[in-house]
Amino acid sequence: MDTTRSQLSRRKFLSRSVGCLASASLIGLTPESGLGQDDTGENSSGDTDIIYRKLGKTGVSLPIVSMGVMNANNPNVVAASYELGVRHFDSAAIYQYGRNEQMVGEVINRLGVRDKVFIATKTMRPEQREGLNSDQMRDKLLEVIDGSLQRLKTDYVDLLYVHSVSVTGVASDPGLIDGMNTLKKQGKIRASGISTHRGMVEVIDDMIRAGAWDVVMAPINIGLASDDALMTAIKRAADSGLGVVAMKTQSGGRRLNPEVLARYDSTTMATASLKWVLRHEHVHTAIPGYDNYEHMRECFSVVGNLEYTPEEKNLLSDDSIQLGMNYCHQCERCLASCPHSVDIPRLMRTYMYATAYGNAHEARTALSAGGAGNALRPCVSCDACVAECVRSIDVPGRVSELKDIYG
């Protein structure tokens, strides 16, 4: 795996933080309100350069920290991220009902840096694919891309994902493969990929067998450290030439028990989690989802140095932290135990969006995933699933919390 470093020194890194003020003014925010938080803290990457890695066979080199834009609704945070050194921005057609793509497009257009950034977006969610044959899948893909291009204010995207694949057969679908190849020939996309949240091992192996894809995006975080099958599949993907993009890198760490969090500051929590992911060299870049300047600086502070600090080592060796981050792996082992045929993994994904992300839109989207004919059955909290989960996740308790959120 080819890892390179840019010629961005610590002095330049800090000067780019000042550059955020210029971009804030550019899009109508005063410097005083633009960076809000205290800027006196130093970059923990020290005097080293930004680490770049090649995104698989695409040949594109990216900083190891990119921006997951899903939860962001402040364009100034996107602009500040660019000024700080972020070059890869990840969105999706469904995020904020298209407004997320619009925001990314507006910022990149106003900064005049389209040729300097790598934009990824996603489409063809499960409900869009439902009931379509291969020819219809191809036609649908060729149709929906134009909406994303219009919202992003560009005539091409660097990477287009098929959004949220959890079963085999999608990666090998001839209609989707032909559609992606057609979009490449038309110049509307430069690389194709698949994002997967569950059934990840099977989906990754399906992609490898198909040999038609460029990038896979999957959850990779310390909560999945014990999932040897997934971590091995991720390495297998990189070895096959697939670019590997890590999502959900923080594993909900910011929402841990307050008594646990009181022992560590939030910056240590964020940087330790992200470093753990990126110390796997077959992970080419990560897209931590942040929506404010403080979290932006925390995430990007690791780009030049992945060595753990003493505080980070203590955190990662703390059993209570490990247990708190040991979230649902979407392995589906619990499904057979439910007497009411509840889709527990989807329920847990909904919980993650609602509580760890605070994103009601994505939570509701997860609830309705699969179309009207695949509505999520309610859980009656009988506890039958808990014994089947090797991590003893309290599914009924979290279902109760969801009921409090949605009524």
**107-125 mean pLDDT:** 98
Question: Where are the domains positioned within the chain?
Answer: 3-316, 328-406
**Alpha carbons 133 and 147: distance in angstroms, whole number:** 22
Burial class (CB in 10 A: 0-12, 13-18, 19+), 159: buried
The reported pTM is 0.76
Please state which CATH number belongs to domain 3-316.
Answer: 3.20.20.100
Q: How confident is the model at residue 238 (pLDDT cuts 50, 70, 90)?
A: very high
pLDDT attached to residue 355: 66
DSSP for 175-211? HHHHHHHHHHHHTSBS-EEEE-SSSHHHHHHHHHHHT
pLDDT at 384 over 90: no
Region of 123 on the Ramachandran plot (φ > 0 left; ψ -120 to 50 alpha; else beta):
beta
Of the two residues 47 and 353, the one the predictor is more confident about is 353
Integer Cα distance of 385 and 299 in angstroms: 35
Residue 329 above 90 pLDDT? no
Q: b/e for 201-233, b at 16 or more Cβ within 10 A?
A: bbbbbbbbebebbbbbbbbbbbbbbebeebbeb
* Residue 272, both tokens: 């330790």
Instruction: Tell me the mean pLDDT in the region 112-126.
Output: 97
Terminal-to-terminal C-alpha distance of the chain: 49
**Which position has the token pair 């589906």?**
332
Average the pLDDT over each of 115-129, 133-147, 377-391 and give the range with the smallest value. 377-391
pLDDT of residue 348: 75
Q: How far apart are CA 94 and CA 106, in angstroms?
A: 17
Q: Is 68 helix (H, G, I), strand (E, B) or coil?
A: strand
**Residue from 341, 346, 343 nearest 366 by CA:** 346
* More confident: 163 or 350: 163
Tally of residues, the chain: 407
User: Residue 21's pLDDT band (boundaries 50, 70, 90)?
Assistant: very low
CB 193 within 8 A of CB 243: yes
Spatial neighbors of 396 by CB under 8 A, at least 6 apart, are 379, 381, 382, 383, 386
Exposed, middle or buried, 30 (CB in 10 Å: 0-12/13-18/19+)? Answer: exposed
Higher pLDDT, 14 or 179: 179
Alpha-carbon Rg for the chain in angstroms = 21
Mean pLDDT, the chain, whole residue set: 81
CA distance 250 to 261: 14
Q: In this model, does residue 107 exceed pLDDT 90?
A: yes
Question: Is residue 219 over pLDDT 70?
Answer: yes
Using the predicted structure, report yes or no on whether residue 294 has a pLDDT greater than 70.
yes
Least confidently predicted of 3-17, 242-256, 267-281, 292-306: 3-17
Q: Which amino acid is at 162?
A: V
More confident residue, 309 or 27: 309
Confidence of residue 149 (pLDDT cuts 50, 70, 90): very high
pLDDT at 323: 53
What is the C-alpha to C-alpha distance for residues 85 and 93, in angstroms, rounded to an integer?
24
**Section 351-368 average pLDDT:** 69
DSSP secondary structure letter of residue 27: T
Confidence of residue 128 (pLDDT cuts 50, 70, 90): very high
Looking at residue 19, its pLDDT comes to: 43
Token code pair at residue 181: 């190849």
Give the DSSP letter string of 102-143: HHHHHHHHHHT-GGG-EEEEEE--HHHHTT--HHHHHHHHHH
Q: Which residues is 62 bridged to in the sheet?
A: 53
Backbone angles phi, psi at 308, to 5 degrees: -75, 140
Tokens of 130: 């439902």
Q: What is the pLDDT of residue 8?
A: 43
DSSP 315: H
- Return the ∠ at Cα 183 (arms to 211 and 169), rounded to 5°: 40
